[in-house]
Structure 1
Amino acid sequence: MTLSATTNALRDLPEVRAIRDHLDERSGRGRQRISFVSLPAAARPPVMAALIDGRPETTLVVASRSDRAESLASALSDYLPADRTVAVWPSPEALPYEQLPLDSALAAERVALLAQLNAGGASAPAALVVTVRGLVQIVMAADELQRQTLTIRPGQRLRIDDVLTWATTVGYHLSPLVQEPGTLARRGGIIDVFVPGTPFPVRLDFFGDEVDSIRAFDPSSQRSQGRLSETVLLPPSELPLWRMDRIAPTLQALASSDLRAEIASEWHRMLDQIASGQTPASVDLLAPYLVPKRTTVLDYMAPSALVLIEEPRAVQLAATSMVSHAADVLVSATGNGELPVGLEQPFTDWHTVEGLLGRHDQVAFGEADGHLEIDVPAIGDAPLFAGRLDALIDAVIHRSESGSSIYLASDQGDRLGELLTERGVPFDLVDRDAPADPVTTGRITIIRSDLPAGWELDTDERSVILLTDLEIFGFRKATRRTHRRQTSDAGSNAADFTPGEFVVHIDHGIAQFTGLVRLDASGVEREYMLLVYAKGDKLYVPVDQSDRVSRYTGGGVEPVASRLGSGEWVRTKTRVRKAIREMAWELIQLYAERETSAGHAFPTDSTWDLELEDSFPYEETVDQQKAIDSVKADMESALPMDRLVCGDVGFGKTEVALRAAFKAVNGGKQVAVLVPTTVLALQHFQTFTQRLSSYPVRVEMLSRLRDRKAQRQILQDLKDGAIDIIIGTHRIVQGDVTFKDLGLVVVDEEQRFGVRQKEFLKRFRTAVDVISMSATPIPRTLHMSLAGIRDISVIDTAPQARLPVRTFVTEWSDHLIREVLLRELERGGQVYFVHNRVHDIDQLAHKLRTLVPEARIGIGHGQMDEAVLEDVILSFVRHDFDVLISTTIIESGIDIPNVNTMVIDHADALGLTQLYQLRGRVGRSTQRA
C-alpha cells in the first residue's frame, strides 16, 4: 500500500525503534505492558502498523466495539504492505443469553480464520482485530479443528460415503444446489461442497473409491472454473457441532419445571433437533457444553504474539458492561421462566481472558497505565483547513519547498491535482493500493483514499504530513454498504393464496379467500377455491379457473367485500373503464404535446459537474450510473424529460437527483424538489447543502419548519432568481410560488401526493424536465413507464456488500426490548422506536427510560412545534441521544446510517407499504440491522 512508506518512516523513530528492540529481547516472556501517551488518535494505526510489520506471528489488536474494530482494520490495511493482511474477528451479533439463529456466514468466517491461525506462516494474517465480545467467545480447540480437517487430492483413495459421513457429522447441510458456505450436494459420483473461507465451492469427482478430479466452480452458473491440486475441507462452524448427541443428557436435565410451558416446549423441541442430528437455532447457548474447556481465539495465538490494545479503559468498561448485562439478563430470564436454572455461562470468564492476555507483551494506546510509558512528541495532529483550499495549496507548496514529504489522502484526489496543476506544482496521483515508494523530501503525493484523519511527523531528520478529507474539507462521510435486494414473483395458481387474504375475481369482485375445498359435482370430485363475499355469500371457483382470481393489492386498508348478484361490481368496472379512457386520452394529449414541445437543452457536463461526481463518498453501482447517464442525456436533449427513477430504499436515488439538480443550476436554471413530509424536506436540505457547500449554489427549504416571515423572503428570492434550488413539501405547489426560470422539477415519492399536487406538476411536464423517484410507484405510474409512455430507470443493484436486514415478529417483552436496545448501544449504534400513537408516546418514553436507564431517549412526532421537531432530528443525527421514539413520520427518506435497529410497536396496525418503508430506514451501513 502507498501509505506503508510512512510506516517505514515511523519505524525509524527512536521511541518506536526502542520499543521494537525491547519487545524482541523479551519475546515470549510476556507480562510487559507499554503505553503510548499523548499520541493523536489518527496516528495510532500507523504506529501500530510500525510495530506489526516484520513480526513473523499474528499480532492481536483489541478494540472495545465492533465499529472501532472495523475502523482500525481498515486503517491498518492502508499502513501495512499489501502482502501483510489484516483480519477482523466476526464477533457474535447476539448478546450473551440472547437466542438468535446461527449466522452460518459469520460462523464460516470464524472457522476459516481459526484454520489460518492454526496453520501460521504466510497463510495467517499479520494482524487480527477483535472486540471484547469476540475475546470471550468460545471456539473449538486447535487440535480438534486439526483432527476434523480433511485434505483431499486427486488420485487419493477415498470412499464417497466416507466424505458424506464426515460432512454431515461436522455440520454441513445437504442442499440440491451449493450456493453458500457450509452446504453440500451429491449427484451420483460427484460431491459439491462450499468450504468456509474459500471464494468458490469445489466439485469432487469420484471414480469408484478414488478421487478423479477436483475443480472450483461458480455457484451462480454451476460451471467449473479450473482444476485444483488439492482442497482442504474445514468444519462449517467454530463450534464442534458433532458433539451434540453427547450433551443431550445434560440438556435434558435442564428442561425442568422452572420453565414456562411454551418455553419448555421450545426446549424439548431443541432436544428433539439434537437427537435427530440437527443444529438448533440457539447454538451459542450450548457452547460451554460443547467445549467444556472454554477455548477462545487467544488460545490460537503464538506465545510470542504481541497484543495491541486501543483505549484500555474503554475495553475494560465494555467488558464490565457485558458481564453485568449478562448477569442481569440471566437473573431476569430465569426468574421469568425463559431460561432454565443452572444454565452455564455461554462465554469465557473475563478474568480468564485477562490472564491469557497477560501471557503476552502488550502495548496500550490511549492511557498511561503501562509498566513503561512512552511519549512521542514528534507526532502531532495535522493542520486543519476546513475547505480553505487556497490556504491549503499555499501551505502544501511552502512545506514542500521546506523539505516536507506531503501526502494528501482524499476521495477528491483529481480535484486537488487540478488545483496543484493550476499553480504549476508537480505531484504524484496514485490509488491507495499502489506500490509504496520511499518517503522523499519535498515530494507531494495525492492518494485516492478515504482515511478518517491525518497526522504530522516532525523531527530534525524528517518531516511527513498526511492530510485527509477531514483536514482538507472539514468533514468526512463514512462509506456505507448496501445489499442486493432479493425479489420473488407472485404466484398465479390456487396454492399461492393464503387463507384469510382478500382476492379479486374478475367477474364478481372483491372477496375473502378461505381455502381449498373438495366437492362432488355430478359424480366427479373436484377441488375448488372458496371465496366469501358480503353477507356471507359463497362462491366456489374451480382451481383450473384460478387465473380469474388475483390478490387484492389496494394497500394497507382492509377492503369491503363485494355483494354477489347485485350488479355493484359491474358498475364499478364500468366506472373504472370510463375513468381509464378519460385518463388515457388526457395522457395521450399531454405526452403528444410533450413530444412536440421545445424544451431546454442543457450543456454537457462542466468541470464542476465532474468535481461533484468525484466528491461522492461511495462507489456508484452499475444501475445507479446508468440512471445518472440516462438523466443527463435527457437533460441535454431538446425534448422535455419525464423520467421515473425506481429503486429500493437506500439504493441511491437521491444522488441521481442531486447531480441532475446541480447540472440544471450550472445551466442557469432553477430547481424545485418536491417531497411529501417536512422531515424528508429537512433531510434533503441537509444533504444538498452539505454536498454543494463548495460551490456558489443557494439551497433553501420551504415547509412549515420555516416561519411566515422567512417564507415570504424565500418566495421573493425565488421569484427574483436568488435561489437556485428550493426543497419543500406541498407548500411549493401553492399559487403564491413563482419561479424566475424553472428548469427541473424533482418529485420524491410521487405516490404520496394527491390530485392537487399532481395538477401542479402537470403544468410543467411539457415545459421543464421532471424526475419522479419512488421505491413503490403507484400502478398507473409504473404501467406508463413499462408501456414506454414515460421513461424509466431502475436501480436494482445495491452498493456492495450491504448486509440483509433481519426481521423478527414477536409479542411485547420487557426483557426482549431491553436486550434489543442494549445490543445496539453496545456496538455504538442508535435505535428507531416506532410508536404511532401520539396520545401515549410520553408514557412509553418513561417506560423505556425505566427499562433501559443506560439509553438516552428522545421523542419526535408530527404534532410537535416545527422548531422543536427540527432540533430533535438534528440532535439524533449528531448522536446526542441513542433512541428516537417517533410516529411513522420517519418512514420517508430519513437517512442516518448509524441507526441499525428498529422496534415497531403495534406493527399489526400499520399497512404493508408503511412497514416496507420503515424497514428501509435501517441497514444503511456496514452493521447488521
Structure 2
Amino acid sequence: MQLLYQTISKLKGFKEWFDTLTLHESQLVLGLSGSVKHLAESCAFEKLDKQLVIVTPTLLQATQTYEELSEWYDDEVVHLFPVEESLAADFSVVSPDVVSQRIRTLDFLSRGEKGIVIVPLSGIQKLLVPAAVWKKSSIELAMGSEIESMDAFVEQLVELGYRRENMVATPGEFALRGSIVDIYPLDQEYPLRLDFFDTEVDSIRAFNAETQRSMDVINEVRILPATDLPLQKEAVWKAQAKIHALYEKDVKAAQSEERKDQVKNIQQAIDAQLENGEIPSNLTYFLECIYPEKTSLLDYVSKDAYLIIDDYARFIEKSKTLEEEAGYWKTHHIETGAIASGLSLVQDGRKVLKESPLSRTYLAIFQKGLGRLALDAIHPITTRTMTQFFSQMPMVKVEADRWKKQGATVIVLVDDAKRAQKVEQTFADFEIKSVISNGTILEGQLQIMVGKMHNGFELPEDKFAILTERELFNKLTKRAPRNQKISNAERLKSYTELAVGDYVVHVNHGVGVYQGMETLEIGGIHQDYMSIHYQDGGNLFVPVSQIKLVQKYVSSDAKVPKLNKLGGTEWAKTKRKVTAKIEDIADELIELYAKRDAEKGYAFSRDTVEQQEFEQAFPYTETQDQLRSVAEIKEDMQKDKPMDRLLVGDVGYGKTEVAMRAVFKAVMDGKQAAVLVPTTILAEQHY
C-alpha cells in the first residue's frame, strides 16, 4: 500500500492538505467518502508520523473505518475504542470482547506510541479514570520478581476488576490455590498460571481453560485491568462522603414517603458495601465523585497527536440526539432511585473536542450545515463513486477506453498474484490493454496490483482511478472472521436456556426439576449453583463449574418423566439397562461399518480452479473449525471408500457453507448431490 500512499500524496487536492497538516490548527476537507476517505486518513497518518485520532459520529462508522484500516496495518498500529451510543447499553453488561478492545486502546495510548485510534462520538463522551491512574493499573511480573504479599496481590487484582472464582474459566476471573494464582486477562488468548515460592514468582505458564492443563512457559507478563474503569479503593473511600451527600440531597427533595424510603434504602446499601471495603457494582455511575477532573479519551493521547473529525454535519446531529437520549435515561433512573441527581454520567462530546488543544481536520461532503467553525484552510476534493460493472466486460472496455483517451492512471486491486494473472487474461480476452504492476505505478496506464480496498473510486480532476473486484465482478470483500468461542457458548447456553420448572438429568443422580440459580457462600467464597429438586424433597446444588454433568430433559412424546430419588437405586438400574442396550447397538454398528469398509466407493478428483473460485466467493472468512472440516471432508471424498460424516454446529455457525463446498465438488465431477431438509419451508429457503 506504500505505493498508493506515495501516489495519492502527490495528487493536487490531497497534496495541498497534506502539506499544511502541521502548519494549520484547523482545516476542512470536502468531498471524501468510503475507501478514498480511509486511504486519505492513512496518508495523513504516514505524513504526520505520530498518533492520529479519528472521531466518527457513530459506532458503525468507527467500526467500518477500523475494518478497512486493519487491512492495511498491523493490529499494533490500528485500535478501536468501541462505546455503545445508548447509555442503557453501555452501563449494562458489556461483552468481554468490547471491554478488551477498550483496554488495549487505553493501554496503547498510555504508552504514547505512534498509531491510529478510531473512536465514535459516544467514546469521546464517556467518562474515564484519569490517565495517571490508568498507568498505575497494571502488574508487571517476570520469573524471579517479587510481590509484596499474596494478600496484597489478591487485593490488587480485585482493584483491577478481576473476579475471584474457585476455578478460572472465562476472561476477567482469577483463582487462588495455595501458592498458585490463575488469572485470565481480557487481552490474552489463554489464561495465565503464576506459581509463587513465598513472594517470589517461581514460574509463569499459559494454560488451557477447558482442560486446566499448563502449556507454554512465559518469561515475563504484563497484566492489564479486567475493566476499562479500574477504581482505586482509596479514591473510592474518599468519595464516600460525596456519594452519601448526593443521596441525602435526594432524600430531602423526595415528594413522598415512598420515594424517600426508596432512596434511603439504596443509600444505605451503598454505604454498607463501602464500609465493608467492597466496591458496589453501580459505582461507575459515581465516577465524577471519585475523580472530579472529568477525564475523556483525549486526555490519554499524546500532546502532539492529530485529530480527524469525520462526517462533521452528521456529527452535529448525532451529538444532539445522544444528549437527548442521555437526558431521558438519566431522568428515568433518578426517578427509580438507581442513580443520584446532580451527577454527570457523560460529557458533552462537542465541547470536549472544542476545548482540546489538538490540531485537527474536519471531513464533510458539503460545507453547508457545519455551524461556525474557525478554519485556517478549506480543501475541496472532487471524487466519483466507481461504476458497478457486474462482470459486464463490454461496459468495462468502454470505461477503459475513456480512461485511456484521458491519459488516466487506473489501478485494479486484486487479492493475490494468481488473481492478477486471471484478471489480466480476462481483460485481454476483451481487448482491454493492461499490465501487472512490477512494484511501481505506471502513469497513464491501466495496471493490476495486489492490494485490498473495500470499494473503488475515481478522482476525475487528477485523472486517477482505483477499481476493485467488487466493482468488476461483484466479488464481495471477505469480512473479518466471526469471533466464536464455542465451548464457552455451549456451556452458557446449557443453563441460561433453562427455565424454573424444567426437567433436567444429572449424570449421577438422574431426573430432577430445575429450581433456578442460587448464590451460596462456602469457605468464604461466593459461587453460583444450580438448584435441582428430586423426589421426596431432596435438593441437589450443582456448581456452575460442573454444568457439563447436567442436561435438559428431552422427550419426543412430551411425556412427563418420573423424578428420581437422591441416593436411590432406580437411576443406577436405568443406567445399567441403557448401557446394555448401547452395547447391542454398538455390535450392530460394528457389523454395519465392517460391511461398509469392504465396499468400493467413488474417489472424487482434487480441487479445480472453479472450486477455488467458488469458495472465494463466500462473503465470510472461514473459521479454523470450518477450514478443518472442509479439509477432512475433501480428504474423505478423494478416497475410494464411501464417506459417512456428521457435521455438528449451532445455528449460524456455517454448516451450510461447509456442505456446499462438498456439493460443488461432487457436481464438478459429474455427480448428483441431494440436500435433504425436514420441511418444505427449509427446502424453499435453501433453493
Note whether the superposition's TM-score is higher than 0.5.
Answer: yes
Q: Aligned equivalents of 2:326 and 2:231: distance in 1?
A: 24
Is the contact between residue 626 and residue 654 of structure 2 (CA under 8 Å) also seen in structure 1?
A: yes
Give the one of 385, 392, 400 matched to 1:381: 385
Which of 412, 416, 422 is the aligned partner of 1:418?
422
User: 1:456-855 maps to which residues of 2 (within 5 A)?
Assistant: 456-457=458-459, 463-473=464-474, 476=477, 478-486=479-487, 502=503, 531-532=534-535, 553-555=553-555, 559-562=559-562, 602-636=604-638, 641-677=643-679, 680-685=682-687
**Structure 1 Cα separation of the partners of residues 510 and 88 of structure 2:** 53
Deviations 1:685-725 (A, max 9, x none): 3xxxxxxxxxxxxxxxxxxxxxxxxxxxxxxxxxxxxxxxx
Instruction: Name the residue aligned to 2:61.
Output: 68
CA drift of 1:347 comes to: 0.9
> 1:444 aligned to 2:447?
yes
Residues 412 and 467 in structure 2, CA contact (< 8 A), matched pair in contact too: yes
| Equivalent residue runs for 1:35-434 within 5 Å | 35-37=29-31, 39-78=32-71, 85-92=77-84, 95-96=87-88, 99-101=91-93, 106-107=98-99, 109-120=101-112, 123-125=113-115, 127-146=116-135, 159-160=148-149, 164=153, 167-168=156-157, 170-173=159-162, 174=164, 217-220=205-208, 222-223=214-215, 225-228=217-220, 235-242=225-232, 243-253=235-245, 254=247, 256=251, 269-335=269-335, 337=336, 339-342=338-341, 344-357=343-356, 360-368=359-367, 369=370, 371=375, 372-377=377-382, 379-389=383-393, 392=396, 406-410=410-414, 414-415=418-419, 417-421=421-425, 423=428
The code of the aligned residue for 1:17 comes to K
Letter in 1 for 2:650: D
State how far apart, in whole Å, the 2-side matches of 1:634 and 1:184 are: 43
Change (3 A) 1:619 1:124: same
Shift of 1:596: 7.2
For residue 403 of structure 1, report the CA deviation from its aligned partner. 6.9
Q: Is the CA contact (8 Å cut-off) linking 1:604 and 1:636 kept in structure 2?
A: yes
Change (3 A) 1:654 1:277: farther
2: distance between equivalents of 1:318 and 1:324? Answer: 10
TM-score by length of 2: 0.73
Q: Which amino acid aligns with 1:375?
A: P
What secondary structure, in the 3-state scheme, does the structure 1 residue paired with 2:384 have? strand
SS at match of 1:218: strand
- What amino acid is aligned across from residue 62 of structure 2 in structure 1? A
Relative contact order (alpha carbons < 8 A, sep ≥ 6): 1 or 2 greater? 2
SS in 1 for 2:48: coil
**Structure 1 partner of 2:525:** none
Any conservation in 1 of the 2:142–2:219 contact (CA below 8 Å)?
no
What is the alpha-carbon distance in structure 1 between the residues aligned to residue 197 and residue 435 of structure 2? 61
Residues of 2 paired with 1:644 and 1:118: CA distance? 49
Report the alpha carbon displacement of residue 44 of structure 1 after superposing the two structures with TM: 0.8
Task: Tell me how far apart the structure 2 counterparts of residues 459 and 498 of structure 1 sit (CA, whole Å).
Answer: 65
Cα deviation code 1:91-116 (max 9, x no counterpart): 25862586423656644543443343
Separation in 2, partners of 1:7, 1:635: 46
Give me the whole-angstrom Cα distance separating, in 1, the residues matched to 2:480 and 2:265.
Answer: 45
Q: Which SS does the other structure have where 1:292 is aligned?
A: coil
Residues 466 and 147 (structure 1 numbering): CA distance in 2 closer, same or farther, change over 3 Å? Answer: same
Q: 1:155: how far off? A: 8.3
The number of residue pairs the alignment matches comes to 628
1:468 CA displacement: 3.9
Secondary structure at the aligned position of 1:74 is classed as helix
Distance, in Å, in 2 between the alignment partners of 1:510 and 1:149 is: 47
2:421 alignment partner AA: G
**2:559 alignment partner, SS class:** coil
Distance 1:222 1:317, change over 3 A: farther
Assess, with a 3 A threshold, how the Cα gap between structure 1 residues 381 and 363 changes in structure 2: closer, same or farther: same
- Residues of 1 paired with 2:154 and 2:79: CA distance? 32
| Percent of aligned positions that are identical | 22
Match of 2:18 in 1: 20
Relative to structure 1, the CA distance from residue 608 to residue 297 in structure 2 (aligned partners, 3 Å threshold; closer, same or farther) is: same
| Deviations 1:326-370, CA, capped at 9 Å, x for gaps | 2222333444x2534515131113453243257643322323136
Whether the 8 Å contact between 1:108 and 1:181 is mirrored in structure 2 is no
1:285 to partner: Cα distance: 1.7
Amino acid in structure 2 at the alignment position of 1:386: F
CA contact (8 A) 1:175 1:184 kept: yes
Alignment partners' CA distance in 1, 2:28 and 2:626: 49
Aligned match of 1:699:
none
Amino acid at match of 1:131: P
1:692 is matched with none
Whole-Å separation in 1 of the counterparts to 2:65 and 2:392: 29
Q: Judge conservation of contact 2:413–2:466 (CA < 8 Å) in 1.
A: no
Q: Which amino acid aligns with 1:132?
A: L
Q: Aligned match of 1:5 in 3, 6, 10?
A: 3
Report the alpha carbon displacement of residue 61 of structure 1 after superposing the two structures with TM.
Answer: 0.8
The separation in 2 between residues aligned to 1:350 and 1:175, in whole angstroms, is 38
Partner residue, 1:817: none
In structure 1, runs of 5+ residues without a counterpart are: 431-436, 491-496, 516-528, 533-537, 544-548, 686-929
Moved more, 404-413 or 149-158: 149-158
Partner letter of residue 68 of structure 1? Q
Change (3 A) 1:84 1:63: same
Q: Deviations over 1:731-752 (max 9, x none)?
A: xxxxxxxxxxxxxxxxxxxxxx
Asked if the contact 1:58/1:124 (under 8 Å) is kept, the reply is yes
TM-score (norm 1): 0.56
Gap runs ≥5 in structure 2: 252-256, 492-497, 517-531, 542-548, 565-570
What is the rounded CA distance, in whole Å, between the counterparts of 2:110 and 2:540 in structure 1? Answer: 63
**Matches of 1:637 and 1:428, distance apart in 2:** 39
Cα gap change, 1:40 to 1:344, in 2 (>3 Å) = closer
d(CA) in 2 for partners of 1:531 and 1:235? 43
Counterparts of 2:619 and 2:79, CA distance in 1: 24
Q: How far 1:670 moved relative to its partner?
A: 4.0
Q: How much does 1:129 deviate?
A: 0.8
Give 1:483 deviation, angstroms. Answer: 0.7
